[in-house]
């Protein structure tokens, strides 16, 4: 079986409303490129890759890479040799889409869902997911802004709508003391049974982090993710390319003095996992399908974390439906994962999957049971959300207006915007 063709489709799926974090305000749409890999035996696989969410992206750049760089290098190759293809593509971000499509093809040939190929016991029908909570600007479609005054109502609405048993509050937007009050209000309103985690995206200094963790200790948080920045020179795709090691000393010191568990994000390389374990710098590590370079990389990440005695969970970043499907399969194959996987998915207005978006059921998502990834692309949705030059320009203009309106400067060398 050989790869005979590659199709690529770039889309822009809008957020329900622009979301805030320590990085500033999000781009108003998630820009993703989906592919179909065709084989000479008529089996087709789907994949997904994306672009950085914090910097301007040139129109058509990823489509060009798929057509001019990726396609010539993989035509005629065996999709079962997915690792060799990743190496052939020098592990560029677009290689992740190819790897996903290869796994999809392999699963279809074997007649098995991906999680069974990864060693998971079947049937596994659903896995728990944790809902992201964001402070937000008002959406163009009428979604209300989310701020310090109404954040409790927003959190309650998320739990009532999607049945989340776990919420992850994305903070680092307002002054730390004000956010601590908001977290306490959410805890008081939704009660002790809700698992609550927070993520300031590393925007606290070490003294601020120590003060905040002491203040948050009575709230029984599941964990605080990345309270301080310990990955120097973070790169746009968070693959940690060029990062020789982590600055774990501050994080290790913080963990020794804190009552609240600490989660490390961004340590997606295997050697960085070892460093976290060596320095006892975190209670839990988070794996990301984009940052860990696909299915095999993320599966290996969790295998090594388990061997090192590190509790682990799934991070949510820029994924849409195809990568979300892959995450569900990985979660189904790794029942030892310590916590519910993050899901930003509900913040998008739609997806390009045939049959529509994944549905939340009492804080869980169903694991696709079809062969391979178990999902297919919808032609009408691909056309409806096609990232045309005009649409891309409109997104860019809206993003610039948002940043001007909220006084957000361009991202610095570490991408962080400390205060709005």
Distance CA 208, CA 322 (A): 39
Higher pLDDT: 249 or 171? It is 171
Q: What is the average pLDDT value for the chain, to the nearest integer?
A: 91
Residue 304's pLDDT is what? Answer: 96
Residue 233's pLDDT is what? Answer: 40
Residue 315's pLDDT is what? Answer: 95
Order of strands, sheet of 3-14, starting from the edge strand that comes earlier in the sequence: 3-14, 29-39, 44-50
Quick one: residue 294, left, alpha or beta (phi over 0 = left, psi -120 to 50 = alpha)?
left
Banded pLDDT at 245 (limits 50, 70, 90): low
Task: For residues 36-46, give the mean pLDDT.
Answer: 98
Banded pLDDT at 23 (limits 50, 70, 90): confident
Residue 317's pLDDT is what? Answer: 87
Token pair of 371 as six digits: 């062969």
Token pair of 265 as six digits: 């994000």
Token pair of 278 as six digits: 């060596």
Banded pLDDT at 262 (limits 50, 70, 90): very high
Residue 242's pLDDT is what? Answer: 45
Banded pLDDT at 391 (limits 50, 70, 90): very high
pLDDT digits (tens, 9 = 90+) for 331-344: 999 999 989 999 99
DSSP state of 53: S
Closest to 93 measured CA to CA, from 323, 354, 389: 323
Helix (H, G, I), strand (E, B) or coil at 38: strand
The answer to whether 322 and 358 have CB atoms below 8 angstroms apart is: no
**What DSSP letter does each residue of 210-263 carry, written as one string?**
HHHHHHHGGG--SEEE-SB--STT--TT-S-TT------HHHHHHHHH-SS-EE
Number of CB atoms found within 10 A of residue 378's CB: 18
Distance CA 384, CA 111 (A): 31
Domains of the chain listed by start with CATH number: 3-112+378-405 (3.30.390.10), 117-366 (3.20.20.120)
**pLDDT for 416 beyond 80:** no
């Amino acid at each position: 079986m050989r790869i005979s063709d590659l199709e690529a489709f770039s889309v822009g799926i809008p957020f329900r409303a622009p979301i805030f974090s320590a990085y500033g305000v999000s781009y108003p749409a998630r820009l993703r490129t989906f592919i179909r890999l065709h084989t000479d035996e008529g089996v087709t696989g789907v994949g997904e890759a994306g672009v950085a969410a914090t910097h301007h992206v040139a129109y058509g750049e990823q489509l060009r890479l798929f057509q001019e760089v990726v396609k010539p290098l993989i035509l005629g190759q065996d999709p079962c040799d997915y690792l060799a293809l990743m190496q052939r593509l020098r592990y560029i971000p677009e290689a992740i889409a190819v790897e996903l499509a290869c796994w999809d093809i392999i699963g279809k040939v074997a007649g098995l869902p991906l999680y069974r190929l990864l060693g998971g016991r079947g049937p596994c029908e659903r896995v728990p997911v944790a809902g992201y909570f964001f402070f937000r600007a008002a959406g163009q479609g009428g979604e209300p802004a989310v701020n310090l005054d109404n954040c409790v109502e927003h959190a309650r609405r998320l739990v009532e709508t999607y049945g989340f048993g776990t919420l992850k509050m994305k903070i680092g937007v307002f002054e730390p003391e004000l956010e601590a009050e908001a977290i306490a209000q959410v805890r008081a309103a939704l009660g002790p049974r809700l698992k609550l985690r927070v993520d300031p995206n590393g925007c606290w200094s070490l003294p601020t982090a120590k003060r905040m963790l002491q203040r948050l200790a009575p709230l029984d948080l599941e964990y605080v993710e990345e309270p301080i920045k310990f990955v120097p020179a973070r790169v746009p795709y968070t693959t940690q390319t060029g990062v020789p090691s982590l600055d774990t000393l501050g994080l290790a010191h913080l963990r020794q003095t804190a009552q609240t568990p600490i989660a490390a994000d961004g340590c997606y390389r295997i050697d960085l996992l070892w460093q976290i374990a060596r320095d006892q710098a975190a209670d839990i590590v988070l794996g990301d399908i984009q940052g860990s370079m696909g299915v095999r990389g993320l599966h290996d990440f969790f295998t090594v974390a388990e061997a090192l005695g590190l509790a682990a969970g799934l991070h949510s970043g820029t994924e849409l439906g195809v990568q979300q499907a892959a995450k569900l399969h990985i979660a189904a194959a790794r029942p030892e994962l310590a916590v519910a996987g993050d899901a930003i998915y509900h913040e998008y207005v739609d997806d390009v999957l045939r049959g529509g978006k994944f549905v939340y059921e009492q804080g869980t998502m169903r694991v696709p049971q079809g062969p391979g990834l178990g999902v297919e692309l919808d032609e009408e949705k691909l056309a409806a959300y096609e990232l045309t030059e005009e649409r891309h320009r409109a997104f860019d203009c809206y993003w610039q207006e948002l940043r001007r309106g909220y006084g957000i400067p361009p991202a610095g060398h570490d991408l962080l915007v400390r205060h709005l």
